[in-house]
Amino acid sequence: MIDLLYFAWVRERIGLPRERLETGAATVADLIEELKLREDRYAAAFADLRALRVAVDQELADFDAPLAGVRELAFFPPMTGG
Amino acid sequence: MIDLLYFAWVRERIGLPRERLETGAATVADLIEELKLREDRYAAAFADLRALRVAVDQELADFDAPLAGVRELAFFPPMTGG
Amino acid sequence: MQIRVQADPFDYGAECAAFAARAAGPGSGAGAVVTFLGLVRDDGGRLSRMEIEHYPGMTEKALSAIATEAAGRWPLSEVLILHRFGPLAPGDAIMMVGTASRHRAAAFQAADFLMDYLKSRAPFWKKEFAADGAEWVAAKDEDETALGRW
Amino acid sequence: MQIRVQADPFDYGAECAAFAARAAGPGSGAGAVVTFLGLVRDDGGRLSRMEIEHYPGMTEKALSAIATEAAGRWPLSEVLILHRFGPLAPGDAIMMVGTASRHRAAAFQAADFLMDYLKSRAPFWKKEFAADGAEWVAAKDEDETALGRW
């Protein structure tokens, strides 16, 4: 089981802030492909990966990061703090 | 008549913070030569002009600045504010 | 080092005083303190309010990592990062950073560095609400480019 | 724009609060406030006290000219320069500057500029008193060189 968290417009497009998922995906990118096939709202949220960032267990990561042992995955747009 | 002001170690070497002077010197440099001939303490204060700065009527100036119409002349070392 | 993430407003003057007191205590050797305060711009009256979302847990980690990186690059006697989330109005204080060092170049550079990293590496997202609608603030390419300075 | 030259101590926190209030009022468009605070370093306990001499009349003019120059180079909604003179002890606040602008790059650069110019172009002289004697602080070549940055 993996916790998926969504922030900002990713959260709004998917329609919820978090969910738990059972997945056999090997990498973040594989999981995204799996989600996109599930429902249109995921396809809309993940349409352009260049507009997205991913954090693996609360650390920024690349889309090819492996999922083995990962507990928490977060998707969000580029950050705009400060 | 011109007011001469001295600050920091220039004031200490000359032994007073200000004085009034009647001078026929045409430039700051000429006045300095006049003062150096007057007494040793002026010669000591003005020994190395590279270590000195001059303000003419409260504006930083060069040693060749003319004295015509000048009311206040100040001599001091490079500034160390901040 | 102090990292704070909060919904509540903060008192900028009191934070500055407390930061300087911590930063410049006896034996600190501190000669220079820099603070930066970020405010919600009113954008010529266009903006009615702002909402800041963040990623609890990761935010604190990211800010600590940024502050630790700064303290490794410059000899800082103290560092502060304070960032708000939730609803904000034009003119409200969003965040502040503080740096203290022996010399001013280090304090200035470290504060500038903290801001550059905070902008692109801490999980905050701003949503602006105006009369003509609401919009997530887009990250600027220049913010990412700015990281290359360090 | 506020220029103050005084012998009395100042309350850094209160000055920061007042500066931000002036700088970020309605319609100012200010999004970024930077303050710099300069303190007397204790120099590992060597320094017992400091005395700052200045040139009344010229000091205020020079500081106003520096602040005006900064306001001409960057779009600043507010500028503060506050500098003390007279006797000071280790840890005491010597001076502060404040800058406010729409964006942070302008506020940071203007504060840095003010400090560079204030250091070499405002008529202040520091004398340090230590157990082994008193000495006028020498200007550093790098302070003069720093002006070339702008």
Write out the two tokens for A48.
């352009």
User: Torsion angle of alpha carbons B41, B42, B45, B47, nearest 10°?
Assistant: -110
d(CA C110, nearest CA chain D) in Å? 11
CA–CA distance from A10 to each of A16, A78, B6, D123 (Å)?
9, 11, 69, 57
Residues of C with Cβ-Cβ distance to A59 under 8 angstroms: 58, 61
Boundaries of every domain in chain A? 2-76
- List, in sequence order, the alpha helices (H) in C24-147: 58-73, 104-121, 141-146
Round to whole Å and give the CA distance between C145 and B42: 57
- pLDDT confidence bin for C101, thresholds 50/70/90: very high
Beta carbons within 8 Å of B51's beta carbon, 6+ residues apart? B77, B78
pLDDT recorded at residue D31: 94
Supply the angle between the helices D58-73 and D104-121 in degrees, to the nearest 10.
150
Q: How much is the pLDDT for D27?
A: 80
Under a CB-based contact definition with an 8 Å cutoff, are residues A70 and A1 in contact? no
Secondary structure (3-state) at A81: coil
**CA angle, corner D112, sides to C69 and D76, nearest 5?**
115
What is the span of the domain harbouring residue C24?
Answer: 2-147
Reply yes or no on whether the pLDDT at B15 is more than 90: yes
Query: Residue A58's closest chain C neighbor by CA?
Result: C58
Query: Angle at Cα C5 formed by Cα D31 and Cα D35, nearest 5°?
Result: 40
Contacts of B9 in chain D (CB under 8 A): 136
Check B58 against D55: CB less than 8 A apart: yes
Closest Cα to residue D143, out of D127, D124, D129? D124
Q: Which of C20, C30, C41 sits opposite D29 (nearest CB)?
A: C41
CB-CB under 8 Å, A77 with C136: yes
Dist CA C61 CA C67 (whole Å): 10
Residues of C in contact with A60 (CB under 8 A): 121
* Touching partners of A (3+ C-beta pairs < 8 Å): C
Residue C26 reports pLDDT greater than 90: no
Nearest-by-Cβ selection for C124 from A55, A59, A80: A80
Q: Does C126 touch chain A (CB under 8 A)?
A: yes
CATH number, domain of D66, equals 3.90.1170.40
- Extract the tokens encoding C34: 């820099």
Name residues whose C-beta falls within 8 Å of residue C79's C-beta, 6 or more positions apart in sequence.
C1, C2, C67, C70, C71, C97, C98, C99, C100, C110, C114
Q: What phi and psi, each to the nearest 5 degrees, are found at residue D130?
A: -130, 175
pLDDT < 50: residue spans in chain D: none
**Domain tally for chain D?**
1
Write the CB contacts of A42 (distance below 8 Å, at least 6 apart in sequence).
A14, A35, A36
Specify the amino acid at residue D126. K
pLDDT in tens, chain A (82 residues): 999 999 999 999 999 999 999 999 999 999 999 999 999 999 999 999 999 999 999 999 999 999 999 999 999 999 999 9
Complex-level ipTM beyond the 0.90 threshold: yes
Helix (H, G, I), strand (E, B) or coil at A66: strand
| DSSP 3-state of D138 | coil
Q: What proportion of chain C, given as a percentage, has pLDDT over 90?
A: 84
* Contact: D53, B9; criterion CB under 8 Å: no
C133: left (phi over 0), alpha (psi -120 to 50) or beta: left
Chain B residues near residue D145 by CB distance under 8 angstroms: none
Q: Which pTM was predicted?
A: 0.95
The number of beta carbons lying within 10 Å of the beta carbon of residue C44 is 8
CA distance D8 to chain B (A): 16
- Residue B40 is inside which H or E element, if any? helix B40-45
Could you report how far apart the first and last alpha carbons of chain C are, in Å? 21
Q: Hey, which chains touch C, using 3+ CB pairs under 8 Å?
A: A, D
Closest in D57, D61, D122 to B81, CB measured: D122
Report whether pLDDT(C45) > 90: no
Taking CB atoms and an 8 Å limit, are C102 and D18 in contact across chains?
A: no
**Domain A2-76 CATH superfamily:** Beta-grasp domain (3.10.20.30)
Q: How far is CA B2 from the centre of its chain?
A: 11
pLDDT in tens, B37-53: 999 999 999 999 999 99
List the one residue out of C102, C96, C97 whose CA is nearest residue C76.
C102
B43 phi, psi to nearest 5 deg = -60, -40
